Structure 1
Amino acid sequence: MLPWVVRRTRLPLLSLRCAHCRAESATTGRGRFRVNANGRRLDVWLLVACVSCDRTSKLTVHERAPVRSIGPAELHGYRVNDPELMASTLLDPLLARRNRFALDWTGAWRLETPPARLGEAWPVQVEVAFDDPVPVRPERLIAHGLGLSRNQVRRRIKCGIPLHRPTSAGFTFTVMAGD
């Protein structure tokens, strides 16, 4: 079984309407949090900037949360702008739903495949794993990885999931011998 891995190369852009220029433009994380304390309550925002006009906006991470409800390590990560915490926060589907944005993964991932073995016996089984929740159509991923057209993929690939629907979960497929 050949292992393929889909890896993130950078954080995805956000599809979010800019409050200043009113364009449906992609925004990108600045890599900064803003933490505001009001008594025993905390507000935490993730700062993002519009690609078009560079205006900064805030995405709500925690709103009026009791101080004790946020762990000390997480709170420290917010205060020092921890890059790993920023990435995991940005990739959180609950944050996207609450702040009404979608992730644009175009150009933000790569497929790592082992070198092709020309003398390998057919059929060949491939296991695809995802390091991050990159939504990609299996049909396009397989075509890219094998250098085939999508029609050839439909003819030569046996897979247990629909090839035309985006997925971000690992899957396996079998490549049958060519015509």
Structure 2
Amino acid sequence: MSSQPHIVLPWTVRRTRLPLLSLRCVDCGTRSFTTGEGRFRVNANGKLLDVWLLARCVSCDRTSKLTLHERVPVRCLEADALRGYRDNDPGLVAATLLDPLFAHRNRLGLDWAGAWRLYGPPIPLDGVWPVRVEVGFDDPVPVRADRLIAAGLGVSRREVGRRVKCEVSLRRSVSSGFSFTVLAAG
């Protein structure tokens, strides 16, 4: 019997929405903010600009400003970036949220629960074993490998640990492509 998988299936992870922000609200104390569709606020003081990303508490609707640029000369910002801030460019909002320096500066984390979806064919349970699955990411969505595989296979994470051979650690977050092999039960 060959040790090579007979079937190779592609899975793709796609972002369905922007992640929630894990940030404490000063009014109600909850730790969940959303950027909604994403809005920037730009304030000019002479030739200096302040740029913030606006976030709203999901519990009490309080709006908070997350600092992007503070007292920066206008000439230091690219024209495309300024246009994106003015037009509330969704791509610029996503890029800002995914920037680790922005998260560190504003002391926030990203909550990706429910913000991604797995697309791909199901693994045939009566098919030929082993089955190799190649996972690709359309967006850099960090998700634990064992949770992703368990969701795709419809089994528990414990079962994933028994039946899956993976090139990355199952207990670590991944946000780029990887592959794994599913072995027959038993």
TM (norm. structure 2) is 0.87
Post-superposition offset of 1:132:
2.4
Q: Residue in 2 aligned with 1:16?
A: 23
Contact 1:25–1:52 (CA under 8 A) maintained in structure 2: no
C-alpha separation in 1, matches of 2:57 and 2:138 = 27
Q: Residue in 2 aligned with 1:106?
A: 113
C-alpha separation in 2, matches of 1:8 and 1:63 = 30
Q: Residue in 2 aligned with 1:84?
A: 91
Q: Residue in 1 aligned with 2:47?
A: 40
Match of 1:163 among 139, 163, 170: 170
Contact 1:27–1:50 (CA under 8 A) maintained in structure 2: yes
Q: Does 1:139 align with 2:146?
A: yes
C-alpha separation in 1, matches of 2:121 and 2:48 = 50
Post-superposition offset of 1:115:
4.3
TM (norm. structure 1) is 0.91
Contact 2:163–2:184 (CA under 8 A) maintained in structure 1: yes
Post-superposition offset of 1:149:
2.4
Q: Residue in 2 aligned with 1:123?
A: 130
- Secondary structure, counterpart of 1:47 in structure 2: strand
- Secondary structure, counterpart of 1:158 in structure 2: strand
Letter in 2 for 1:33: F
Across the aligned residues of Structure 1 and Structure 2, the Cα RMSD in angstroms comes to 1.7
Percent same amino acid among aligned pairs?
A: 66
Q: Residue in 2 aligned with 1:96?
A: 103
Q: Does 1:25 align with 2:31?
A: yes
Contact 1:13–1:104 (CA under 8 A) maintained in structure 2: yes
Contact 1:12–1:108 (CA under 8 A) maintained in structure 2: yes
Post-superposition offset of 1:69:
2.0
C-alpha separation in 2, matches of 1:70 and 1:44 = 11
Q: Residue in 2 aligned with 1:148?
A: 155
Contact 1:18–1:25 (CA under 8 A) maintained in structure 2: yes
Letter in 2 for 1:144: A
- Secondary structure, counterpart of 2:41 in structure 1: strand
